[in-house]
Structure 1
Amino acid sequence: MNQKNKALCEYILAQSNELTKEWLNSREESPSIYSKNAAPHHEKRLMEQNGIFIKFVAENFVSSNEENLQEIKKWAKNVAEDRASTYTPIQETVHQFKKFRNILMAALEDFIQSVELEISMDEMLSWNRHLQNTVDFVLELYSEKYYQVTSSRMTAQQEMIYELSSPIIPISDYIGVLPIIGDIDTERAKRILENTLAQCVEKNLSQLFIDLSGVPIIDTMVAHQIFQVMSTLKLVGVESILSGIRPEVAQTAVQLGINFKDVSTHSSLKQALHDHDFRVKKVN
């Protein structure tokens, strides 16, 4: 083992708490976990997380083994999840990496000036490059994990939105209404198909009114997806009725060659329910 590298590793580890305090003392007021006014438990967590980071940086001067690599990967994942949970923008964390990199560089300079060892210019440059590369490696690792965490959360949120945007409302034991609002793309149409089929089976429906009055545009793709939903429902014994196709939308559909002649369509949900003998008694 290179004794100079070992001495540098031990120096950084010995300075760990002081380096972290210097970083924390440099914080400014901001609406994030990095604010100098952050809650004490946030500051404690930052100290613990930074301690693990410093340990990896220091020990990486001595050896880069699989155990250390797995530990820093776990660290990056945990920190990414933590920052995502506090809605900390990635650019804020990148800024903090940059600040602490400068603190580590200053610590390296202090070691070179204070240690009683002969250190060549090549060794200084090598340490500098190694430190820069190590911090960059951890930053890239963190960015990758942060992207994975936030993407996973966005996907889960989108799934929930899709489910909430296509609810089937039972209006009798065997009849339901599916109001569709907003634009329909391929992904949303797929979710509507899946959710509608599942809900109709679960609710034991035999008739479903699909109201499109909230859909601004119906093109060939949207029409195809709607027909696919209706065809699939027919296979499980559910009759589908369309309502709410506005005149301008119907005109566009005709111009695009979309044929609704084999589909039961009505100008409004009210008219569709009336035409299918669904009536509610007037309350006197």
Structure 2
Amino acid sequence: MERSIQQYIIEHRQEIAKGWLDTMKDVSAEPLTNVVSENVYVSMNSEFLDIIFSHQIESPEHFRTKLEEFIERVVKLGWPLTYLTRAIRLLRKVILELLMEDEFARDDNYVPMETVQELELWAEPIYHELEDIYATSWENTINLQKVALQELSAPLIPIFDNITVMPLVGTIDTERASIIMENLLEGVVKHRSEVVLIDITGVPVVDTMVAHHIIQASEAVRLVGAKCLIVGIRPEIAQTIVNLGIRLDQVITKNSLRVGVERALEITNRQIISMEE
């Protein structure tokens, strides 16, 4: 064989690029273009193709660095791995179709098996590189989001001197309950809280485990010298707690944050006064 597949791709870069970009336009990209404009989608395709072409001339380290930067943006956009693998699959198809029209092909547009195998050997390492980098980037992104969510999932917010609120939103599991307890105790000491309001308005389900964690948190606050009020007790939650036989005798509960704040002010010898004109 006078020319290798790599040489062929370099020499026919413009034809391959045009055929591939046209093919990518024809493929339904609605889930992707719902996130970005069509122009950005086309631009991303062009950039991706430039990076793939650089595989022929760049060092492996430089190629991987460029690919990592591109895939990191793909992951941040929420695009699936199938976007990348489909792109390589279609690129291989376009190259094969051009080979069938070239002197690589024999009679009846038949491409020799060794040529097809060489094309596969060219594409396979890129496939593996894409999968590896995407998986790593996705895992890193998930871990960063998890850390950020944990930091925001149980904040203790001072609203008055010595009065703080911890608004809880979403499902509470054992891991999150541990974070809530840690943030709660650290915050009580840091803000010198006398009263802490745990607002469960945004907690969709209160079962035995969730109630147990909340009572534990309340007891821990009491042990460090502060009072704890649980607010946001909706009727359905109150009914669930009663049905579960959970006793809240030692815990002050209120049906709303507003009422809870009023009670907290009373505990700290303050009150809300209406200012008349």
- The TM-score bracket by the shorter chain reads 0.7 to 0.9
Q: Deviations over 1:57-93 (max 9, x none)?
A: xxxxxxxxxx74x555445423311323444443333
Residues 240 and 72 of structure 1: is their aligned pair in 2 closer, same or farther, counting only changes over 3 Å? same
Q: Supply the distance in 1 between the matched residues of 2:231 and 2:153 (Cα, whole angstroms).
A: 17
* Amino acid corresponding to residue 82 of structure 1 in structure 2: R
Structure 1 residue aligned with 2:243 = 255
Asked if 1:239 corresponds to 2:215, the answer is no
Structure 1 residue aligned with 2:113 = 125
Residues 129 and 186 of structure 1: is their aligned pair in 2 closer, same or farther, counting only changes over 3 Å? farther
Conserved in 2, the CA contact under 8 Å of 1:27 and 1:36? no
Equivalent of residue 16 in structure 1, options 13, 23, 36? 13
Q: Supply the distance in 2 between the matched residues of 1:16 and 1:200 (Cα, whole angstroms).
A: 65
Q: 3-state SS of the aligned residue for 2:198?
A: strand
The answer to which of 211-220 and 35-44 deviates more is 35-44
Structure 2 residue aligned with 1:84 = 75
Equivalent of residue 185 in structure 1, options 133, 154, 173? 173
Equivalent of residue 156 in structure 2, options 160, 163, 168? 168
Residues 28 and 244 of structure 1: is their aligned pair in 2 closer, same or farther, counting only changes over 3 Å? closer
Q: Supply the distance in 1 between the matched residues of 2:153 and 2:140 (Cα, whole angstroms).
A: 20
Q: Deviations over 1:202-257 (max 9, x none)?
A: 43323211122443422121122223433444555443222333344233224324
Structure 1 residue aligned with 2:200 = 212
Structure 2 residue aligned with 1:50 = 52
What is the deviation of 1:100? 0.3
Structure 2: state its 5+ residue gaps: none
Structure 2 residue aligned with 1:28 = 25
* Amino acid corresponding to residue 81 of structure 2 in structure 1: I
Q: CA RMSD in A?
A: 3.9
* Amino acid corresponding to residue 281 of structure 1 in structure 2: I
Q: Supply the distance in 2 between the matched residues of 1:258 and 1:130 (Cα, whole angstroms).
A: 69
Q: 3-state SS of the aligned residue for 2:116?
A: helix
Asked if 1:135 corresponds to 2:85, the answer is no
What is the deviation of 1:97? 1.7
Q: Supply the distance in 2 between the matched residues of 1:34 and 1:18 (Cα, whole angstroms).
A: 27
Q: Deviations over 1:79-118 (max 9, x none)?
A: 311323444443333332221011232355535348xxxx
Q: 3-state SS of the aligned residue for 2:104?
A: helix
Q: Supply the distance in 2 between the matched residues of 1:50 and 1:34 (Cα, whole angstroms).
A: 22
Residues 41 and 224 of structure 1: is their aligned pair in 2 closer, same or farther, counting only changes over 3 Å? same
Q: Supply the distance in 2 between the matched residues of 1:264 and 1:171 (Cα, whole angstroms).
A: 19
Residues 216 and 157 of structure 1: is their aligned pair in 2 closer, same or farther, counting only changes over 3 Å? same
Conserved in 2, the CA contact under 8 Å of 1:168 and 1:176? yes
Structure 1 residue aligned with 2:191 = 203
Structure 2 residue aligned with 1:100 = 91
Conserved in 2, the CA contact under 8 Å of 1:52 and 1:75? no
Structure 1: state its 5+ residue gaps: 57-66, 115-120
Conserved in 2, the CA contact under 8 Å of 1:246 and 1:267? yes
What is the deviation of 1:176? 0.9
Residues 82 and 177 of structure 1: is their aligned pair in 2 closer, same or farther, counting only changes over 3 Å? closer
Conserved in 2, the CA contact under 8 Å of 1:84 and 1:150? yes
* Amino acid corresponding to residue 28 of structure 1 in structure 2: K
Q: 3-state SS of the aligned residue for 1:28?
A: helix
Q: Deviations over 1:134-193 (max 9, x none)?
A: 424423432343243234334434544454454433232211122323432334333433
Residues 18 and 54 of structure 1: is their aligned pair in 2 closer, same or farther, counting only changes over 3 Å? farther
* Amino acid corresponding to residue 20 of structure 1 in structure 2: A
